[in-house]
Amino acid sequence: MKVTVDRSKCEGYAKCVGVTPKVFKLDEKFISVVVDAKGDSDQKILLAARVCPTKAIVLEEEDSGQRIFPQS
């Protein structure tokens, strides 16, 4: 699964870090960055994306590029 953070949407709430601390961390600007997209199960990463208040975390299928979350 491809995991990216839309930096224009992230507001540094760090909820993603709380759910999956091996996958996300806050950088020096308090914006979330992906440190290891395989640092937790896809299910847990989906949960992290769901709890993000600004829907800044984008999940896509590795091969097809198909959007998993958020659904628009």
- In the complex, the residues that contact ligand SF4 under the rule CB under 6 A are 5, 10-16, 24, 32, 52, 54, 56-57
Single out the residue of 60, 47, 70, 65 nearest to residue 23, CA to CA: 47
Q: Helix %, strand %, coil % for the chain, to 5?
A: 20, 25, 55
Of 52 and 63, which has the nearer Cβ to ligand SF4? 52
Q: Judge whether 13 and 52 are in contact, CB under 8 Å.
A: yes
Nearer to ligand SF4, 25 or 63 (CB): 25
User: Minimum Å distance from CB 47 to ligand SF4?
Assistant: 11
Q: Which is nearer to ligand SF4, 64 or 71 (CB)?
A: 71
